[in-house]
Structure 1
Amino acid sequence: MKIITESEMNFGKFDEENLFHIEDSKIYKDLGAGIKTVEFILKYSENSILFFEAKKSCPNAANQYESEEKEQKFEEYYSSITEKFVASLQIYLATIMEKYPDTSEVGSELRTVDSMKEIQLKFILVVKNAKDITWLAGPLAELKARLLQVRKIWGVEMVVLNEELAREYKLTC
């Protein structure tokens, strides 16, 4: 069983057979600079695979245009997260298609997917300091719009949680 600490949150305890700690993996490191990934990938249930990105905070869309600096930070934040989700999906798919010489870091339950048709892929952003659950709708809408193409092609579901909701789903401990 493994606990992953990210953005002052403890994710887990996860069975390593269901886990790909992509951010710490040799596969990712061997790809070299210029590629961003999520923290980890988890086979959550028989037919769902989750891609996790954790952040302490999140810029507020309501005040993104208050200054050039806020606008730039907003764009950088969401561009980075979008890039991480897409690259992580590609690395994961390349892994299960055996494009890398050693995939032993990827939990066996994630490596042995028989049919992607039955699998629900979910991109999950967990924002630690988001207190108001209704506020999460803003970041969710932003990410859904930016990830529209990959969501359509792969049927990916987008989810934004705070630490409290992540705990309710038994994702944090």
Structure 2
Amino acid sequence: GYSTVEFLFADAGKNFFFVEAKSSSPRPQKDSVDFDDFINKVAVKFQDSYQLFLAGALGRRNLEDAGREIQQFQAASAKIKFLLVIPGHRKAWLAPLQDALKQRLYKTIHMWNIDVAVLNEELARDYDLLADDF
């Protein structure tokens, strides 16, 4: 089967966001199997979700259950963003995760010009990803 992200949404500015949420993450230590496994699992979710999305956008898969914005996706003009949200993390903890995720997704993000960001609760609010009562 496919591993997929939590949700996908489009904003009015032609941005498409693939969002994965985690409650925590392992610490990025040298030769950490747990950290590498965490990054690999998150990367697979982004890659599988993006490929399924593209298959639908290209008419290879049915998108009738998807929202109107997704059905009307214009691949040539859209900006794609992969967002990993870990609400309880400090800002200082985000950069090593983001660097590792970018490294693991290197081919995909460079081939398709995709942005990758790792966000905590504060930064996720800037993207309007969290309800006010979170």
Q: TM-score, normalised by structure 1?
A: 0.71
Structure 1 runs (4+) greater than 3 angstroms displaced: none
Q: Percent identity, aligned pairs only?
A: 31
CA distance in 1, matches of 2:130, 2:79: 21
Consecutive unaligned residues of structure 2, counting only runs of 5 or more, are none
Write the mapping of 1:5-154 to structure 2, written as runs, cut at 5 A.
33=1, 35-61=2-28, 63-65=29-31, 71-100=32-61, 102-114=62-74, 116-130=75-89, 132-154=90-112
Aligned to 1:117, what secondary structure does the other structure show? coil
- Amino acid corresponding to residue 18 of structure 2 in structure 1: F
The structure that has the greater radius of gyration is: 1
CA offsets 1:92-143 (integer angstroms, 9 cap, x no match): 011112222x4221111111123x222110000000220x212211101001
- Amino acid corresponding to residue 119 of structure 1 in structure 2: A
Alpha-carbon offset, residue 64 of structure 1: 4.7
Counting matched residue pairs gives 131
Alpha-carbon offset, residue 73 of structure 1: 1.4
CA offsets 1:28-87 (integer angstroms, 9 cap, x no match): xxxxx3x211111111233210000000001111x354xxxxx22112111100100001
Alignment RMSD: 1.4
Consecutive unaligned residues of structure 1, counting only runs of 5 or more, are 1-32, 66-70
CA distance in 2, matches of 1:133, 1:59: 15
Q: TM-score, normalised by structure 2?
A: 0.90
